[in-house]
Chain A
Amino acid sequence: MNETIPLGREYMERYPEWREALPGNDLPWLAQRRADAFRRFAERGFPTRKVEAWKYTNLNPLTKKLFAPGAGLAATPGALPADALDEKSVHRLLFINGRAAPGLINGRAAPEATHALPDGVRLMPLSEALETVPDLLAPLLAADAEPEEAGLLEMNTALMTEGAVLLLEPGVRLEKPVHFFFLTTEDAGEAAMHLRNLLVAGKGSEATVFEHYLGTGQTGHWTNVVTEIVLADDAHLHHYKLQNESKAAYHIAATTAKIGERAVYDNFAMSLGATLARNDIQARLDGRGIDCRLNGLHLARGHQHMDTTTVLDHQKPECRSSETYKSVVDDRAETVFQGKVLVRPDSQKTSAHQLNRNLLLSDEASANAKPELRIYADDVQCSHGATISELDEQALFYFRSRGIAEDVARRLLTEAFLAEMVEEVKDPAVHAVLHQAMTDWLGQAWPKGGRP
């Protein structure tokens, strides 16, 4: 087996044509970055499981057929699903099948939403940002030196079509969460959606962002999303994600966060959807006194494969990081957690704690855990732990001996395993959506194990 699978010929042949339709074509810096990225990706190809970071996740299904960019897809402004957030409790940016649906920002005309935003906040689709504020994007968008394990990032840069841009000027505090709502419908077909989000929080600013993927159809589309985050000193960002794509979809996501002094970055991701889902998070702690929390849940069943891979790079002293990732795995599903923590030589007084817990609900379910601690400083407090277990027999018996039916007991114990994570989500509107998604999932696992 090779380390990569080359990009298919069709991609090579059709890229020039696709490129024509991409936003920001008149921006030379962007054209250059896209061209470079495409060339590099074409040289490198898709990573295979020989690449350490992709050890447990096989991207073969993505290479077997051509996923053409879905830029031409209809963004039919149909009715939003019932579980969408109450429009008054969020600032919403809606995308349907990978295209901005500006008529539906907050369910009304776009200007209203913009007016509702405080001064110093820019919230708009990527395509609009490239037209109206290209100079603000130039130093930020795909500007970073290429990381070692690029995954599909370069393919994304070459083809990025749309996404959410949030720019906060220094000191701005957003009270309501910002809802990046990526909805796919039956029209999504087998399209690829190369989405690019950009979140930039100025010094001392604060916001809550809810990145939300919801598939309402049965489509086998591919979401390839990259989220670039830059937090200036003292900024606070609460970043929540719910991945609830259609069951046949592919969801490959990479988030890179560059974090400044004393800033707080709090990331919580819950994965329920897609047949193959990968959530990469790279956090670069680039200042003293940072507080970085990465947490997440996989709820996997059927033949789903879910992979969360994190890299926490402690580049400066006196930072704290904590990670808790949990999986509940049913049927023949498989989950992966790979957590790399790097503590660089001058990063004294680092505190880094990592925990991975996996609950298997069936004999055929599996979970993989790969912690990797590389510590080059001596005055540090680091820990990690990983467990893979089934529901506690003693606890099950205890419930049943009190008259509680076995199904209800299983459900309650599973819920208890998950709930403590969801309860950490402070924003009430986001919490409600995540809690509902969890409850629905549990309800599907135990349709008769209703709430007592």
Chain B
Amino acid sequence: MPSLLEIKDLHATVGGQEILRGLTLTVEAGEVHAVMGPNGSGKSTLAHVLAGRPGYAVTKGEIRLQGKDLLEMSTEARACEGVFLGLQYPVEIPGVSNMYFLKAALNAIRSHRGETELDAIEFLKIAREKAKLLEMNENLLQRAVNVGFSGGEKKRNEIFQMALLNPTLAVLDETDSGLDIDALRIVSDGINALRSETRAILLITHYQRLLEYIVPDKVHVLSEGRIVKTGGKELALELEKSGYADFEKKDAAAMTASA
């Protein structure tokens, strides 16, 4: 059985600048991995490259999802194959209701899987269930996608979407930022409920606190476009105390040494 996610020696550029520089990472089904690292180290870039965002050019390396070549696929094909990106900054879309958007998304994915499309009533039933799970106000479903949502509501909406779309690989980019303490607990509970033997979750975060709620199987430190350290959940605690300074220096030293 191939790993659920396998990233090998990934190099990617944005705006002509190399941001990911030889990133290697493997995640097995059922696992939750946390990715931490200083601002600008490339965490969101990794998330976007996984989702296939235009403008992010992979110059070297490979990404496999359950053995399939992800880089061959369009953005929407990846989503249909089970990649979900919870955005650090969810996008506002005036004029399109959350319901309409999500029904379109779910039906696109269902028809890709060869399942029947849901009508409005069937969809509403499922959507209500999932909204309850995240204690999400139902009127947010009727409103335009993320328009006028508070920061916390936007993040909750992302996890609500994840719950609806049932991804194989969920990449959650700083889902915890902007959440108050209660919302953090609710969203974490929601994510925990979505842990499953057939799914992997990549959790990008700056805060150890999230990892108290969602206990990861592994923690990676990303610095200057590479994974520079991998450990268990205790690594997050260590980072909380000492910061990233050590890694950045080591990394710089390593680069000078190899130069």
Contacts and interface: CB of A to CB of B under 8 A. Distances in A.
A412 B76 contact: no
B87 interface: yes
B138 to A, nearest CB: 20
Given A401-B75, A402-B165, A413 B93 contact: yes
Interface stretch (B96-104, B187-195, B246-254): B96-104
B168 interface: no
Contacts of B91: 392, 394-395, 397-398
B165 A412 contact: no
Nearest to B93: A395
Q: Is the interface of A mostly helix, strand, loop or mixed?
A: helix
A405 B53 CA distance: 14
A19 interface: no
B91 to A, nearest CB: 4
Interface string A405-416: 110100011011
Given A394-B91, A452-B104, A400 B79 contact: yes
Contact of A403 (B76, B94, B145): B76
Given A402-B161, A413-B93, A416-B96, A397 B104 contact: no
A10 interface: no
Where chain B touches its partner, the secondary structure class is helix
B54 A412 contact: no
A404 B96 contact: no
Contact of A400 (B75, B95, B109, B145): B75
A402 B96 contact: no
Contacts of B105: 399, 402-404
A400 B81 CA distance: 12
Given A416-B95, A416-B96, A404 B76 contact: yes
Interface string A326-345: 00000000000000000000
A408 to B, nearest CB: 7
Nearest to A451: B104
A274 to B, nearest CB: 27
Interface string B143-170: 0010000000000000001000100000
A419 B87 contact: no
B93 A400 contact: no
A417 interface: yes
A396 to B, nearest CB: 8
A412 B104 contact: yes
B19 interface: no
A402 B158 CA distance: 11
B200 interface: no
A17 interface: no
B214 interface: no
Nearest to B83: A401
Contacts of A395: 91, 93
Contact of B96 (A394, A397, A406, A412): A412
A13 interface: no
Given A400-B76, A403-B109, A452-B108, A416 B93 contact: yes
Contact of A404 (B51, B94, B108): B108
Contacts of A417: 95
B13 interface: no
A52 interface: no
B161 A416 contact: no
Interface in B49-78: 51-54, 74-76, 78
Contacts of A401: 51-53, 75-76, 78-79, 84-85, 87
Closest 3 CB pairs of A and B: A416-B95, A452-B104, A403-B79
A397 B108 contact: no
A144 interface: no
A401 B108 CA distance: 11
B147 to A, nearest CB: 11
Given A403-B76, A452-B104, A397 B109 contact: no
A416 B100 CA distance: 11
12 contacts: A393-B54, A395-B93, A398-B91, A400-B74, A400-B79, A402-B101, A402-B108, A403-B79, A406-B75, A412-B104, A413-B93, A413-B96
B95 A419 contact: yes
- Which of B53, B96, B165 has most chain A Cβ within 10 Å? B96
Contacts of B79: 400-404
